[in-house]
Structure 1
Amino acid sequence: MNSDLDRLQPYPFEKLAVLKAGVQPPSHLEHISLGIGEPKHPAPPFVLEVMADNLSALSNYPTTKGMPELRQAIAGWCERRFELAAGSVDSERNVLPVNGTREAIFAFTQAAVERKPDALVLTPNPFYQIYEGAAYLAGAEPYYLNCLADNGFIPDYDAIPTEVWQRCQLLFVCSPGNPTGAVHDIDTLKQLIALADEHDFIICSDECYSELYPDEHNKPAGLLQACAELGRQDFARCIVFHSLSKRSNLPGMRSGFIAGDAALLEPFLLYRTYHGCSMPIQHQLASIAAWNEEGHVLENRSQYRHKFEAVLRVLQPVMEVKQSDASFYLWAKTPIADDEFAKGLFEQQNLTVLPGRYLAREIDGVNPGEGYVRMALVATVSECVEAAERIRHYIESL
């Protein structure tokens, strides 16, 4: 077997299972999970109808590149959402449908990294675990960029040594961030594009939470948007990842896209052709319907906004926590060690949250996830409020 498999760490939820093993929560309380970022809002009925009406497509092999109509729907959505000029996203060259961002992030890293002894993949820390695993299995070393409160949970890009930039092959940007919900502003994205030009690396911007924001007048900026403002019509060295999982409550459909530099997407399409990961036709047709409709997304944001307001009213008097810039996560500071907090909360209140240390690595003696827990406000409003009240009771009992 590939020896790089031995470098993979247990997934955060495996660590969480070990933490909770042998703990007996109170049986009179129903379990509430804020641990996994799996959307629980209902899937849009019109999307389900399209899928159900096209099950006969199971008789056909889908193409790796996807249906032209899907690529056109995606290109149009990008242009509308990020205020790009009409026709600036070429559906033939700048877009590929993928089976969710997780699959695409991993696969693109395998195709893009040139196996050199000094190859680096730069990743935020804390981070989405696929960034690290993809780097290891592509033959590169992950280089962790601590995301600390004093910099708004955005990496301090100015502090990265020149020699690190010179070895960088891929830079992962997660905006809005998982787990912190922090958003890169457009000037920072432009700064990163300039660094990519100077040092010849690829920017991979994971934007799968971009549609979950609290202020309708303050949408998170995107990497393609930064390219457009710089006049970079070719999106050189820039790749973005988007998904219907969070935006449209369709995590089980595994539908998203990768878009950007055509010079990078062309060889990636070749890789995907061999990889054998084309999207089922009925999923493509359902995806077209989802990308072309915004009403359900507006309602989705409204539900999350209501949950954040209700939960924060309960927690803020006893806990250091505030509204995240975007996403459905709260990144909350704990009054005791984060893992002990999560364990005690499960034991006393039958409630699951994810210790921040499980989402990060210790760098220079600092684990930037320590002292925080990630709460995914994916349950119903009533369950989220009940969860907040249980957390408050637990904190007040310490």
Structure 2
Amino acid sequence: MANPERFSNLPEYAFPRLRTLLSGIEPGGEPMVLTIGEPRHGIPDFVAPIMAENIALFGKYPPNEGNPPMLAAISGWLSRRYGLDIAHDQITSLNGTREGLFNAALALCPERKNGKQPAILIPNPFYQVYAVAAAAVGAEPVFVPATADTGHLPDFAALSADLLDRTAIAYICSPANPQGAVADEDYLERLLTLAEQHDFLIFADECYSEIWRDTPPPGALATATRMGLPDRVVMFNSLSKRSNLPGLRSGFAAGGREAIRQLRQLRSYSGAPLPLPAQMVSAAAWNDEDHVTASRALYQRKYAVADRVLGNVPGYQPPAGGFFLWLPVPDGEAAAKTLWREAGIQVLPGAYLSREVDGQNPGQGYIRVALVATEDETERALERLKQTIFE
């Protein structure tokens, strides 16, 4: 029987909370929405022709795990990007990574770990589906600070051995949403060693992996494979950020055969398969890097804009990857209201992406700013933002 009390302590989702916060406040300038991580770069030119060419495939039920062309394209991309040799049965398509990050917990989290309630480790701040997944499986969500003191990545090794021994899953996002921090190979190796020592899985949320400043971020599955521990990781990625196709709802999970078998089995009952025309578009997108390179160059130009405009703001930290700025302010909600009222700029209070632990919310003193608009729009917005709350 379902237990609705599992979800009773979940706060309202971030964007409805923001609408409530700003309700009744008139924007004090040309509205500029910098809240949601929805890419606004152009979609690849090949999308419409391929969709049209395969339009009749809407008349067929699609394979839940992905059709052969899509699986081959993902496998090929994993080889080119990470040097991985991944068979088709180590991959499953997803209806976006959020669906997979949730369903993987349902498929792979045990009811008991070493005779106790399992724990799921979650960076704090974090992508909110991680906490909902933990609630759905009856695990204890453990929010691990990912602050400036820890390099904006969670220090899982600081947790007690007793807690780690009942840990079933640790979520990690790199580049991190919202901070833009990248887990380097040393970090990933330490995490994998910890996972092997205490027998837990790593769910690597890598949907921002192709948006980076200087160097491509390493992959958790590639690092695990090099260490001889490929079964410790399930990695997740999608075309939303990489290819500016959030509405396609096309993602994938890859990992050890048994983990992917169990995820496929669950999704055969509960998952929403990607329509076949969308799978054909997805195959083309994973096979093409030119559009990714062009889009990344636009983000790198916006990194330079942010550095130029905000570089002298106390506490400003240039993101290593992703497309968010994580800006320190005295109070995130107050800053969000001031920016909307005085400048017409909409940002997200950092506390809406975090959870209070021991009386402390690590996002309370931040706002998240999405660099998804054009370069010119971004520069105008950041100039107004700086003048409004930092000068």
* TM-score (structure 1 length as normaliser): 0.94
Which residue of 1 is the match for residue 79 of structure 2? 79
Which residue of 1 is the match for residue 147 of structure 2? 148
Which residue of 2 is the match for residue 47 of structure 1? 47
Deviation, 1:76, is 1.0
Question: Residue by residue, what CA displacement relative to the aligned partner does 1:331-363 show, whole Å, maximum 9, x if unpaired?
Answer: 1111x3111011101000010111111111111
Q: CA–CA distance in 2 between the matches of 1:337 and 1:197?
A: 40
Q: CA–CA distance in 2 between the matches of 1:286 and 1:122?
A: 35
Matched, 1:384 2:386: no
Check conservation: 2:82, 2:222, Cα contact below 8 A: yes
Which residue of 2 is the match for residue 193 of structure 1? 192
Deviation, 1:8, is 2.4
Task: Determine helix, strand or coil for the equivalent of 2:231.
Answer: coil
Check conservation: 1:7, 1:136, Cα contact below 8 A: no
Which residue of 2 is the match for residue 219 of structure 1? 216
Q: CA–CA distance in 1 between the matches of 2:246 and 2:390?
A: 36
Question: Residue by residue, what CA displacement relative to the aligned partner does 1:55-87 show, whole Å, maximum 9, x if unpaired?
Answer: 111100001121112111101101110123xxx
Opposite residue 197 of structure 1, the aligned amino acid is E
Deviation, 1:5, is 3.1
Opposite residue 353 of structure 1, the aligned amino acid is V
Opposite residue 194 of structure 1, the aligned amino acid is T
Residue of 276, 279, 288 corresponding to 2:274: 279
Question: Residue by residue, what CA displacement relative to the aligned partner does 1:139-173 show, whole Å, maximum 9, x if unpaired?
Answer: 11210110110221111222111011111111001
Which residue of 1 is the match for residue 125 of structure 2? 126
Check conservation: 2:325, 2:369, Cα contact below 8 A: yes
Matched, 1:316 2:311: yes
Check conservation: 1:244, 1:251, Cα contact below 8 A: yes
Check conservation: 1:318, 1:395, Cα contact below 8 A: no
Deviation, 1:200, is 1.5
Check conservation: 1:240, 1:260, Cα contact below 8 A: yes
Which residue of 1 is the match for residue 58 of structure 2? 58
Q: Relative to structure 1, is the Cα distance of residues 290 and 161 closer, same or farther in structure 2, using a 3 angstrom cutoff?
A: same
Task: Determine helix, strand or coil for the equivalent of 1:121.
Answer: strand
Which residue of 1 is the match for residue 16 of structure 2? 14
Question: Residue by residue, what CA displacement relative to the aligned partner does 1:119-155 show, whole Å, maximum 9, x if unpaired?
Answer: 1110000000000011101111210110110221111
Which residue of 1 is the match for residue 338 of structure 2? 344
Moved more, 32-41 or 108-117: 108-117
Q: CA–CA distance in 2 between the matches of 1:345 and 1:293?
A: 39
Superposition CA RMSD, Å = 1.4
Which residue of 1 is the match for residue 36 of structure 2? 36
Check conservation: 2:224, 2:232, Cα contact below 8 A: no
Q: CA–CA distance in 1 between the matches of 2:205 and 2:82?
A: 15
Q: CA–CA distance in 2 between the matches of 1:247 and 1:73?
A: 14
Question: Residue by residue, what CA displacement relative to the aligned partner does 1:4-24 show, whole Å, maximum 9, x if unpaired?
Answer: 232322111121111101112
Q: CA–CA distance in 2 between the matches of 1:46 and 1:5?
A: 42
Q: CA–CA distance in 2 between the matches of 1:313 and 1:173?
A: 30
Which residue of 2 is the match for residue 229 of structure 1? 226
Question: Residue by residue, what CA displacement relative to the aligned partner does 1:258-286 show, whole Å, maximum 9, x if unpaired?
Answer: 00011111121110011141110000000
Residue of 103, 110, 117 corresponding to 1:107: 103
Which stretches in structure 2 are left out of the alignment for 5+ residues?
none
Deviation, 1:312, is 2.4
Opposite residue 258 of structure 2, the aligned amino acid is A
Residue of 85, 94, 97 corresponding to 2:90: 94
Opposite residue 327 of structure 2, the aligned amino acid is A
Q: CA–CA distance in 2 between the matches of 1:396 and 1:145?
A: 30
Check conservation: 1:175, 1:184, Cα contact below 8 A: yes
Check conservation: 1:306, 1:381, Cα contact below 8 A: yes
Q: CA–CA distance in 2 between the matches of 1:325 and 1:312?
A: 12
Residue of 230, 234, 237 corresponding to 1:239: 234
Task: Determine helix, strand or coil for the equivalent of 2:78.
Answer: helix
Q: CA–CA distance in 2 between the matches of 1:393 and 1:52?
A: 47
Opposite residue 393 of structure 1, the aligned amino acid is Q
Deviation, 1:396, is 5.0
Residue of 357, 368, 373 corresponding to 2:367: 373
Moved more, 315-324 or 358-367: 315-324
Check conservation: 2:183, 2:218, Cα contact below 8 A: yes
Q: CA–CA distance in 1 between the matches of 2:363 and 2:390?
A: 23
Check conservation: 1:241, 1:259, Cα contact below 8 A: yes
Q: CA–CA distance in 1 between the matches of 2:184 and 2:307?
A: 25
Task: Determine helix, strand or coil for the equivalent of 2:333.
Answer: helix
Which stretches in structure 1 are left out of the alignment for 5+ residues?
none
Moved more, 363-372 or 178-187: 363-372
Task: Determine helix, strand or coil for the equivalent of 2:210.
Answer: coil
